[in-house]
Amino acid sequence: MLTMRASEIAAAVGGTLHGDDVVVTGSVETDSRLVADGAVFFAMPGEVTDGHRFIDAAIAAGAALVVAERPLEQDVPHVVVPDGVVALGALAAEVIRRVRAAGELTVIGITGSNGKTTTKNMLQAILEQHGPTVSPVKSFNNEVGAPMTMLRIDEATRYLVLEMGASVEGDIARLTAMAHPDLGVVLKVGLAHAGEFGGVEATTRAKTEMVRDLGPEHVAVLNRDDERVAGMAASTRARIAWFGTDAGSDDQPTALWASGIDSTLEGTIATIHRGDETWPLRMRILGEHHVMNALAALTVADALGLDLGQAVEALGTLERAERGRMELLEPGGGITVINDAYNASPDSTAAALRSLAHMTRQAGRRSIAVLGEMAELGPHAVEEHDRLGRLAVRVRIDRLVVVGAGAKAIHDAAELESSYGQETTWVETADEAEALLRSELVEGDVVLFKSSNVSGLQPLADRIGGR
């Protein structure tokens, strides 16, 4: 973070300073275990515990300033605020304002039901070639995680890439009001978190918040292939930069588009088009659906005036989309594991199943899908799990293992779809799934693990994958 006095931080967050007006030179942390000398520690109530319980630990670790929701007895400079989360966001907004005034900061915001983290990683690989770039650790994209990413910048930062997620309408609007993105990227609108939003229409409105407040000097990077995203063009004053899989029309040309998309167990290929120019894209990342994420990242680079050929080459250096996202593991014995169990939605699971079927059919290998629950679907849960069970049959997945009560509708639908019932098994726990897989796996098998993180299949995928 920027060097700031405690009084400046208090003014930025609307709090009251108690104690000395110290100079803060360290990072901002909400986890006392990460505090180092000179840090600011935000003590905030959480879902599991209360950060105020760890103030002593933060002071012992070297915290120079504490931001808390009540006056402290400890002898440490502290700022008292009504709401720690609101204060964190206010400090992030002030830091971005100061860095913009002092340097050449460009802020890119990314939202969408799927693909945010992969696109963020792609942009990190592209932009860091042109200047100091800050992007989220893991998938920090909520009201705490996004400001924490913003607070990592300093005067030298050239690019700030932000994931912007939402649980309810208004969340993305609050994050964009903090960061004021120069470019807003919308990848896709699907049923991820539909249970929280109350339906896909509400999800669409929430994602529209990314581009709604952009000005005419900004750029909205929109997926032409998704009709809900394409409809957002009417809600923004920004210049539109389209990406997709066709050239568009004379009056609305697609900035970048892809053809010749294909994926094997060695990686994914496509041809990238800009007008009459073309570039071959070769990525080690698995899955044809990741070409759309690549197009989004490349369209940002193009809108920034960066060398597109160099950007395409940068994507070829990425070894994986992210830990637990279409991650290739080779445990030996001629078995291949694809760990895609970090998160799951109906759209991303369908894409993973299609990719598995396509890649194994090309390679002449047996496909096995180990599927767990897709969380946060609300009233759509049974219907969407049922749909994926039928899809597994239709794309001809050879073996299906379904784990957990929340995912049982996948197994039931696969049994009903055809005589496929002989090749689908439902088990209650990951341990049962592991025993089953270890008894069945043979040389040549390709095993996909796909579920929401809460299902606990990612550790199972790591174990089967030999990690």
Which range, of 9-18, 34-43, 49-58, averages the lowest pLDDT? 49-58
pLDDT at 193: 53
How sure is the predictor about 188, in pLDDT bands with cuts at 50, 70 and 90?
A: very high
Q: Are 117 and 40 in contact (CB under 8 A)?
A: no
Domain count, the chain: 3
Give the three-state DSSP class for 100.
helix
**What mean pLDDT do residues 77-97 have?**
96
Does 94 fall in a domain? no
> How would you label 340-357 residue by residue, b for 16+ Cβ within 10 Å and e otherwise?
bbbbbbbbbbbbbbbbbb
Q: Rounded CA gap, 394 and 384, in Å? A: 15
What is the DSSP-derived secondary structure letter of residue 233? Answer: G
Does 237 have pLDDT greater than 80? yes
Average pLDDT of span 337-350: 91
SS3 of 446, please?
strand
Q: What is the rounded distance in angstroms from the CA atom of residue 110 to the CA atom of residue 146?
A: 11
Q: What is the structure's pLDDT at 419?
A: 65
236 is annotated as contributing to ligand binding: no
408, 402 Cβ separation under 8 angstroms: yes
Under the banding of pLDDT at 50, 70 and 90, the label for residue 44 is confident
Q: Is the dihedral of CA 350, 351, 355, 361 positive or negative?
A: positive
Query: Is there a single domain that holds both residue 290 and residue 345?
Result: no
Which of 73-87, 320-334, 378-392 bottoms out in mean pLDDT, i.e. has the lowest?
Answer: 320-334
Q: Is 136 helix (H, G, I), strand (E, B) or coil?
A: coil
Q: If residue 438 lies in a helix (H) or strand (E), which one and from where to where?
A: helix 430-440
Q: Is there a domain that residue 87 lies in? A: no
Q: Which domain holds residue 46?
A: 4-81
Q: Are residues 34 and 172 in the same domain?
A: no
Assess whether 193 and 254 both reside in one domain.
Answer: yes
Question: pLDDT at residue 95 above 60?
Answer: yes
Q: Is residue 97, in this structure, part of any structural domain at all?
A: no
> Could you tell me if 221 and 138 lie in one domain?
yes
Question: Do 58 and 108 have their domain in common?
Answer: no
Distance of CA 101 to the CA centre of its chain: 29
Written in H, E and C, the secondary structure of 338-383 is: EEECCCCCHHHHHHHHHHHHHHHHHHCCCEEEEECCCCCCHHHHHH
Q: What is the pLDDT of residue 324?
A: 74
Same domain, 271 and 306: yes
Which among 31-35, 193-197, 217-221 has the top mean pLDDT?
A: 217-221
Quote the CA–CA distance of 240 and 315 in Å, as a whole number: 23
Residue 66 falls within a domain, yes or no?
Answer: yes
pLDDT greater than 90 at residue 321 = no
Residues 351 and 443 in one domain: yes
Contact 78, 152 (CB under 8 A): no
Q: What CATH code is carried by the domain that includes residue 71?
A: 3.40.1390.10
Which tokens sit at 179? 């960061």
Listed residues 315, 344, 376: the one ending a domain: 315
Same domain flag for 55 and 130 = no
Three-class secondary structure of residue 411 per DSSP: helix
Query: In this predicted model, which residue has the larger pLDDT, 195 or 379?
Result: 379
Same domain, 144 and 227: yes
Is 450 one of the annotated binding-site residues? no
Q: Are residues 458 and 350 in the same domain?
A: yes
**Segment 107-141, tens digit of pLDDT:** 999 999 888 999 999 999 999 999 999 999 876 77
114 is in an annotated binding site: yes
Report percent pLDDT > 90 for the chain: 81
What tokens were used for 439?
């008894």
Q: Is residue 405 part of a domain?
A: yes
115 is in an annotated binding site: yes
Band of pLDDT at residue 192, cut at 50, 70 and 90: low
Question: Taking 90 as the threshold, does the pLDDT of residue 437 lie above it?
Answer: yes
Please check whether residues 219 and 240 belong to one and the same domain.
Answer: yes
User: Which residue from 257, 253, 255, 286 is spatially nearest to 269, judged by alpha carbons?
Assistant: 286
The answer to the question of whether 117 is labelled as a binding residue is yes
Mean pLDDT within 74-85? 95
Q: Which one of 315, 345, 379 terminates a domain?
A: 315
Give the pLDDT confidence of 359-368 residue by residue, as tens digits.
Answer: 999 999 999 9
Q: Which long-range contacts (CB under 8 A, 24 or more apart) does 84-88 make?
A: 84/42, 84/43, 84/44, 84/45, 84/51, 85/44, 85/143, 85/144, 86/13, 87/13, 87/14, 87/15, 87/42, 88/13, 88/28, 88/30, 88/42, 88/44, 88/144, 88/147, 88/148, 88/151
- 334 marked as binding residue: no
120 is in an annotated binding site: no
Measured in residues, the chain has a length of 467
Report yes or no: 268 and 258 within 8 Å, Cβ to Cβ.
no
- Looking at every residue in the chain, the average pLDDT score rounds to 92
Residue 197, domain CATH: 3.40.1190.10
Look at residue 194 and tell me whether its pLDDT is greater than 60.
Answer: no
Judgement on whether residues 70 and 201 belong to the same structural domain of the protein: no
pLDDT of 420 strictly over 70: no
Q: Cα(467)–Cα(462) distance, rounded to whole angstroms?
A: 5
Residue 4 has pLDDT above 60, yes or no: yes
CATH code for the domain of 371: 3.90.190.20
Q: Note whether residue 96 is domain-resident.
A: no
Residue 197 is predicted with a pLDDT of 57
Per-residue pLDDT for 300 more than 70? yes
For residues 45-64, give the mean pLDDT.
Answer: 89
